[in-house]
A = this chain, B = another copy of it.
């Protein structure tokens, strides 16, 4: 109950708009406990631990921590390193050397795996140690969780971006393709639908990694929509795959780049959107076809944050500190929806959250596989918060023609 020692907090993987809320939650809560000597932050995640690159967050002002909490992206910086057994053993050695007894790792499923292995190392060595994984990912793909911190704010960005480009596309009609992050899970791309208000609002078509992408079907969808509305706004997930599971990005690109995890680099490249645009242009003979790849803007844009997401990100950090320091427990903090809208946080065994990813369930995807259901919209709506803008259109009547000639 009163294991004396140091606390270490680290951030892993891709930044989010609210990841610093979780860090501030851990630090501010942990600093209240008598058994805590110091609260360290690892600089650049697990790599920082190996390098003993720690900063002493006990000496950070509360006021600045509160300001950093509101700043997007990982204030402790991040890493793409995916530790193996040997790496985790090294992590454990450093933690032991610094008398770190509480370790909090804010990240996705890879980070949960890391926490799990480090924990096993500690158990084997009979080193008294508490390690907790704190959920974070804009992809919303963590198991057990109803949703994950970071998703609501990124979803808000995607929603407001599509709301804007849809209005733009009304003004200057054509086909517009917006490519959204999401390798295996389509939750973020699906968020493009949430701002739809008028019956002909875009995105008219949504393609997710969960549904095998068929190029012929895609063309048919675009053709039909264009015939109906004289324009077509499309949301595409960067991770869309063909029937054999081959990413369309790979199918279309001549040269692909792989990251440290052996995954194709999908972000920072507009190739998918452009190839799809070219495909539409060449096959349907529509002249104005444009594509944007939202890229890094969607995960760290300043000033686009969901207050619900902010609140929950802070609480998962605080709850993690409480589970470890009050209750002396290990695990992964998970978010559970208890009402409409309310949540509760639980401590879940790490192995239930680690490694695997959660995808969009079937009832969130429409039958045609090219849009979302109302059920998905009900699920997402509370997560993006109240403070969103709404589009308004003119509704004045048409004036009767006098000359009646056409250009």
Query: Is A97 among interface residues, defined by CB-CB distance under 8 A?
Result: yes
| Bound CA span A402–B75, Å | 24
| Bound CA span A269–B293, Å | 9
| Bound CA span A11–B73, Å | 38
Query: Is A171 among interface residues, defined by CB-CB distance under 8 A?
Result: yes
Please list 10 pairs of residues, one from A and one from B, whose beta carbons are closer than 8 Å in the complex, sorted by A's number.
A59-B397, A68-B392, A71-B392, A73-B171, A75-B392, A80-B172, A98-B402, A268-B291, A290-B295, A293-B293
Query: Is A283 among interface residues, defined by CB-CB distance under 8 A?
Result: no
Would you give the shortest CB distance from A217 to chain B, in whole angstroms?
24
Given contacts A54-B398, A404-B52, contact A168 B393 (CB under 8 A): no
This protein's copies in its complex: 2
Beta-carbon contacts of A330-369 to B below 8 Å, as 1s and 0s? 0000000000000000000000000000000000000000
Given contacts A93-B403, A167-B15, A176-B296, contact A64 B392 (CB under 8 A): yes
Known: A14-B172, A60-B395. 4 other contacts (CB 8 A): A41-B396, A51-B406, A64-B395, A270-B291
Give residues of chain A (171-214) contacting chain B, Cβ–Cβ below 8 Å: 171-172, 176, 195
| Bound CA span A320–B405, Å | 30
Q: Which residues of B contact A268 (CB under 8 A)?
A: 277, 289-292
Query: Is A310 among interface residues, defined by CB-CB distance under 8 A?
Result: no
Beta-carbon contacts of A65-85 to B below 8 Å, as 1s and 0s? 101101111111111100000
Query: Is A245 among interface residues, defined by CB-CB distance under 8 A?
Result: no
Is A52 a contact partner of B403 (Cβ separation < 8 A)? yes
Interface size for chain A: under 10, 10 to 19, 20 to 34, or 35 or more residues? 35 or more
Query: Is A301 among interface residues, defined by CB-CB distance under 8 A?
Result: yes
A residues whose Cβ falls under 8 Å from a Cβ of B = 11, 14-15, 38, 40-41, 47, 50-60, 64-65, 67-68, 70-80, 93-94, 97-98, 160-161, 163-165, 167-168, 170-172, 176, 195, 267-271, 273-274, 277, 289-297, 299-304, 388-389, 391-399, 401-407
Given contacts A302-B391, A304-B303, contact A295 B296 (CB under 8 A): no
Q: Among the listed B70, B296, B401, which residue makes an inter-chain contact with A290, where contact means beta carbons less than 8 Å apart?
A: B296
Would you give the shortest CB distance from A163 to chain B, in whole angstroms?
4
Is B73 a contact partner of A167 (Cβ separation < 8 A)? yes
Residue of B nearest to A59 (CB): B396
Q: Which residues of B contact A195 (CB under 8 A)?
A: 302
Residue of B nearest to A292 (CB): B295
Q: Among the listed B11, B165, B300, which residue makes an inter-chain contact with A296, where contact means beta carbons less than 8 Å apart?
A: B165
Q: Which residues of B contact A392 (CB under 8 A)?
A: 64, 67-68, 70-71, 75
